[in-house]
Amino acid sequence: MYLGGTLISSVEFHGNMSLVLFMSRCPLACRYCHNVELIEDNTEKSFDEVKSEIDNACDFIDAVVVSGGEPLMQLDALIEIFEYVKSINLKTKLDTSGIYPDKIEKLLELELLDFVSLDVKAPFDKYGHITGANIGPQVKKSMQLLNNDSNVNLELRTTYVPTLHTKEDIYNIVNNAEGDIYTIQQFRNKNVLDLKLEKVEVPNPLELREIAEFIKPYFNGVVKLKTAEFGEEII
Ligand code: SF4
C-alpha cells in the first residue's frame, strides 16, 4: 500500500490516543490542499509492516485513524488494516472527502467504522470551484449513508478559506448537513496547491468564531472550531 507517514496523536480522535496512518494518493485537487507532498509520495509498505506499527503502539493507543490523501483509493488495504484493528479491540476512524459512497457502503456493511470525519468542502452545488471536480452529489450520498448507521459517529468538516468561502456558504452547508459534529477549520496559507492562496490571509479566529456562533442554531449537533491559536473549541 502507499503510505506516506504515521504519527501518534491525542487530537485526531477526540478523547482517544491514536496511531494515525497517512495514505498517499488523492483524485481531487483542492485549491487549498497542503498535502501535495503526501499525495505524490511513493513510499510503499506491506500490511505486515503496518501491523507491526500497530502492535508496537497498541499498549498506549485506543484507536487507529486512517487519513490521507484519500484512503478510500486503497480500499482493500484499508479493509485489511481496519479488520486487524477491530480484531485487537481498538477503535477505527476514517478521514475522507466522501468521493466514493460505494466504498463507504462496503465499509459499513463490514461494520468497520466507529468514527468518520467527512469533509464537506463547499455547498454541494459549488464543489467544482474548490476541489476541481463536481462531486457534491457523491459527498451528499456518503453523508446520508453514514447518518443511516447509528453505530458510526460522524463529524463533518469545512476548511474556511477567505476568497473561496463566505459566511453564506457555511450557512448553506450547515442547512444541508446532517451529522453529530460540524467543525470549521482554519485555512493555512503555507504549501498550498493553488499558489495564489499563499497571499490570502489566514482567517482571524474571532471572525471564525462569529461564523460558528451564527450557524450553531441551524445545526442539530455539536459545533466546533479548530484554529492554530486556540486549538479545538466547542461553540
Ligand atoms: S485537501 Fe483535497 S486534494 Fe488535498 S488530500 Fe484532501 S481531498 Fe485530496
SS (H, E, C) 118-142: EECCCCHHHHHHHHCCCCHHHHHHH
Atom of ligand 1 nearest to the CA of 99: 7
| pLDDT tens by residue, 136-167 | 999 999 999 999 999 999 999 999 999 999 99
Res. 129: pLDDT tops 90: no
Q: In percent, how much of the chain has pLDDT > 90? A: 92
Res. 234: pLDDT tops 90: yes
Q: What spacing in Å lies between the alpha carbon of 26 and ligand 1's midpoint?
A: 6
Does ligand 1 come within 6 angstroms of the Cβ of 28? yes
Q: How many residues does the chain have?
A: 235
Res. 132: pLDDT tops 90: no
Helices (H), 32-181: 36-40, 47-57, 75-87, 101-109, 127-131, 136-147, 167-175
Does ligand 1 come within 6 angstroms of the Cβ of 70? yes
> Which of 105-109, 135-139, 190-194, 223-227 has the weakest average pLDDT?
190-194
Does the global pTM surpass 0.85? yes
- Residues 3-234, CATH architecture: Alpha-Beta Barrel (3.20)
Within 10 angstroms of residue 195's Cβ, the number of other Cβ atoms is: 9
Q: What spacing in Å lies between the alpha carbon of 27 and ligand 1's midpoint?
A: 8
Q: How far apart are CA 157 and CA 73, in angstroms?
A: 20
Closest C-alpha residue for ligand 1 atom 2: 30
Write down the domain spans for the chain. 3-234
Does ligand 1 come within 6 angstroms of the Cβ of 30? yes
Closest CA to 159 of 216, 110, 227: 227
| pLDDT tens by residue, 216-231 | 999 999 999 999 999 9
Q: What is the mean pLDDT of residues 94-122?
A: 98
Which band of pLDDT confidence, cut at 50, 70 and 90, is reported for residue 33? very high
Q: What spacing in Å lies between the alpha carbon of 30 and ligand 1's midpoint?
A: 5
> Which of 49-53, 54-58, 76-80, 128-132 has the weakest average pLDDT?
128-132
Q: What is the mean pLDDT of residues 110-128?
A: 96
Report whether 215 contacts 207 (CB < 8 A): no
- Please, what's the b/e burial string for 51-60 (b: 16 or more CB within 10 A of its CB; e: otherwise)? beebeebeee
Q: What spacing in Å lies between the alpha carbon of 92 and ligand 1's midpoint?
A: 21
| Residue 124 grid cell | 454541494
Does ligand 1 come within 6 angstroms of the Cβ of 29? yes
Residue 14's pLDDT is what? 86
Atom of ligand 1 nearest to the CA of 39: 5
Closest C-alpha residue for ligand 1 atom 4: 33
